[in-house]
Amino acid sequence: MAIRWSAARWGKLIVFAGLLLESAALQAGTLPSSEVTPARYWVLLRNKAGMHFNPATYFAAPAQLRRQRQGLPAADSTDFPVRPDFVRQIRAVADSVTLVSRWFNAVACRATPAQAARLRMLPGVVSVEQWEQSSLQLASQAGTIERGSMTITADDRQLARRQTASLGGPALRQARLEGQGLRIAIFDVGFIGTVRHPAFAQLIGEKRLVATYDFVRKGPNVFVGGTHGTEVLSCLAGLLPDGTALGLAPKAEFLLARTERLTREIYAEEEAWLAAAEWADRNGADIINSSLGYTDRRYFPEQMNGRTSLVARAAAMAVRKGILVVNAAGNDGEDPDWPTIGTPADADSVLTVGGLDPDTNLHIDFSSYGPSADRRLKPNVMAFGTVLAAAPGGYVRTQGTSFASPLLAGFAACAWQQNRSLTVMQLFERLQASADLYPYFDYAHGYGLPQAAALLRPAGEVRSKRPTVDFVHQDTVLAILIRPEAAIIPAQVLPLYSDSATVVRAAQQVPAVGREELAPPLSRQPAPGQALPEPAPMAPVRPMYLYWHVADPQGVLRSYEVREVTQRAVLQIPRRTLRPGDTVRVCYRGITQSYLVP
């Protein structure tokens, strides 16, 4: 009787023979070390034929409801499990398997080059891609285990109030919008001190910490590794002892995922981010907050296009599942080699959040700039980049876009709570449109600081759109003049001309996103034995700045600037710098006006 050999049997025979040959070579000492040291590989599989899947038993009830609300299918092919026979074949060949991804029908593994060659011959494998390797590097430890103090100064309390009031926190609380019914996942380096911290007593007591998982150590304990995640969580749900909220979603539910380690390895964190995203999807997350980013340790700036990195593609897939992904822009704004956003902040459907300076209400120096490598707008919006946050032992002033991101994620939770029928991209657009500069934008501020007033405005109400500037076409310049009726500000009327005033700030370096340190001490210190005076009341409006940019016919900015307004004749643009088809946009006092260059 003839014996029929299947492709799978031939594959196993080839694998077995290869293993024998490699074993013999190792014993003989004929293989170089580069041939026997396992490297990381991404193995893309052919199909999911024959797999069965019941979404009702796989997904948590909130995950099912999220899809129903947004008109998404209960499941699609990316939700189906990976074929176990394919995984078994890979395990039989590779040194180890580190991730099995349903979303991408792929397996991440460690293998030698010889093993990788045999992986490519397996019948279920489409491709085997090696990922760049580098030795482990010790990340900056400064600020990793921050210690707080229960002594809260008047300035600290003022900052705590302003970081939420700047987004309209009091109006949201009055409208009973505090994240109720929303489930938020936080991906971070660790959450030391969270469970016993008084800032989270209400969260823990009401059992709204739904699930935790450490994707580094493969276990449920995320309360290791660092305090950064604790600080980030506090900017969503933390409370001061007097009940002052540090974030805008103190009533939400939370999923905590540890996806980073203090000693970092190329791509391992991105694998953990993807695994956490699939876990968050299954467990019903509405929003993912990722105060993390990856830049020059593994990529080039031209790869920040939202399509190259695994983590950007994972974030985009999460959005396809109806999850809003909110990500910090990064803290590289003062880095001459890489001042722009990292990944996954580069993904087009990720809401990227830059940092705002509480003292000037402008872009904070260290916040990373846009655009993406393919010239899309980034960051999308802003929030305070210096905050008061909870840390083991009490509270700390800290800084970084890591904390702007959760402030905005809490705002997004309130916006979605107000209208649960919105799809994720409808919410994305609404968050951008609620910002105080919209529709003006630039690559430092995005659309600006979102405002609760825009969310709470009655349907059909039309805001005043009265122009605030005039474009005056002169022989050699395009002049921008502030209209007399828009030149009246509290306590003064702007003259037509005056000496310009500038805001001078000392530059300061901030560690990479996810590794932030404490904010510098206050410059205003009391004399020995003297207390600081009570700070002045919060300003009801932002300072009088004029924002302007020049965009080409494709909407890509060629230049942009912010000017402090001290006179009505505020700007003169040389005509020789403008090209036919350019658009000059100006935003003053919340009104955006445009001039098309003929």
Mean pLDDT value across the chain:
86
The verdict on 85 and 184 lying in the same domain is no
**484-495 confidence digits (pLDDT tens):** 988 876 655 666
> Does position 21 have pLDDT exceeding 50, yes or no?
no
Helix (H) or strand (E) holding 228, with range, is: helix 228-237
Q: Are 434 and 450 in contact (CB under 8 A)?
A: yes
The residue with greater pLDDT, 181 or 13, is 181
Give me the domain span that covers residue 558. Answer: 469-487+540-597
SS3 content of the chain, % helix, strand, coil (to 5): 25, 25, 50
Q: How far is CA 181 from CA 167, 201, 252, in A?
A: 20, 19, 6
- Check whether the bond before 38 is cis (ω within 30° of 0): no
The verdict on 478 and 583 lying in the same domain is yes
The residue with greater pLDDT, 264 or 426, is 426
**234-282 confidence digits (pLDDT tens):** 999 999 999 999 999 999 999 999 998 765 556 788 999 999 999 999 9
- Considering its fold, how many domains does the chain have in total? 3
Q: Are 455 and 414 in contact (CB under 8 A)?
A: yes
In-domain check, residue 34: no
When pLDDT is averaged across residues 461-476 and rounded to a whole number, the result is: 86
> Does position 585 have pLDDT exceeding 70, yes or no?
yes
> Does position 503 have pLDDT exceeding 80, yes or no?
no
- Structural tokens at position 95: 């040194």
Name the residue among 113, 105, 104, 109 with its Cα closest to residue 90. 109
> Does position 163 have pLDDT exceeding 80, yes or no?
yes
> pLDDT-based confidence at 415, cuts 50/70/90?
very high
Residue 460: per-residue pLDDT: 67
The verdict on 450 and 482 lying in the same domain is no
pLDDT > 70: what percent of the chain?
81
The verdict on 426 and 565 lying in the same domain is no
- Structural tokens at position 490: 């509290």
Q: How far is CA 269 from CA 98, 345, 373, in A?
A: 11, 15, 22
When pLDDT is averaged across residues 401-429 and rounded to a whole number, the result is: 97
In-domain check, residue 9: no
Residue 145: per-residue pLDDT: 62
Residue 504: per-residue pLDDT: 32
Residue 139: per-residue pLDDT: 28
The verdict on 309 and 419 lying in the same domain is yes
Question: What backbone phi and psi angles, to 5 degrees, belong to 537?
Answer: -60, 155
Residue 147: per-residue pLDDT: 78
Residue 598: per-residue pLDDT: 94
In-domain check, residue 462: no
The verdict on 316 and 378 lying in the same domain is yes
Determine how many CB atoms are found less than 10 A away from the CB of residue 482: 23
The verdict on 420 and 337 lying in the same domain is yes
Task: Say which range, 18-27, 46-55, 341-350, 386-395, has the weakest mean pLDDT.
Answer: 18-27
In-domain check, residue 513: no
**200-220 confidence digits (pLDDT tens):** 999 999 999 999 999 999 999
What's the CATH number where 548 sits?
Answer: 2.60.40
**Chain CA centroid to CA 546, Å:** 27
Alpha-carbon span 157 to 506, nearest angstrom: 24
pLDDT > 90: what percent of the chain?
73
**183-198 confidence digits (pLDDT tens):** 999 999 999 999 999 9
Q: Which of 115, 130, 145 is the last residue of a domain?
A: 130
- Structural tokens at position 26: 């190792």
DSSP per-residue string spanning 338-353: --B--BSTTSTTSEEE
The verdict on 333 and 408 lying in the same domain is yes
In-domain check, residue 334: yes
> Does position 505 have pLDDT exceeding 50, yes or no?
no
The verdict on 434 and 566 lying in the same domain is no
What lies within 8 Å, CB to CB, of 453 at 6+ separation is: 168, 171
When pLDDT is averaged across residues 10-26 and rounded to a whole number, the result is: 44
Residue 493: per-residue pLDDT: 65
Task: Say which range, 3-7, 138-142, 223-227, 310-314, has the weakest mean pLDDT.
Answer: 138-142
The verdict on 101 and 249 lying in the same domain is no
Task: Say which range, 97-101, 129-133, 303-307, 402-406, has the weakest mean pLDDT.
Answer: 129-133
The verdict on 255 and 304 lying in the same domain is yes
Determine how many CB atoms are found less than 10 A away from the CB of residue 552: 13
**351-403 confidence digits (pLDDT tens):** 999 999 999 999 999 999 999 999 999 999 999 999 999 999 999 999 999 99
> Does position 427 have pLDDT exceeding 60, yes or no?
yes
Residue 384, helix vs strand vs coil: strand
In-domain check, residue 204: yes
The residue with greater pLDDT, 518 or 103, is 103
The residue with greater pLDDT, 31 or 586, is 586
What lies within 8 Å, CB to CB, of 83 at 6+ separation is: 45, 47, 48, 49, 50, 51, 124
When pLDDT is averaged across residues 283-306 and rounded to a whole number, the result is: 90
Residue 9: per-residue pLDDT: 41
When pLDDT is averaged across residues 137-160 and rounded to a whole number, the result is: 70
Residue 497: per-residue pLDDT: 60
The verdict on 275 and 179 lying in the same domain is yes
What's the CATH number where 449 sits?
Answer: 3.40.50.200
Please classify residue 523 by burial: count the beta carbons closer than 10 Å to its beta carbon, then call 0-12 exposed, 13-18 middle and 19+ buried.
exposed
Q: Which residues are known to be catalytic?
A: 188, 228, 402
In-domain check, residue 426: yes
In-domain check, residue 259: yes
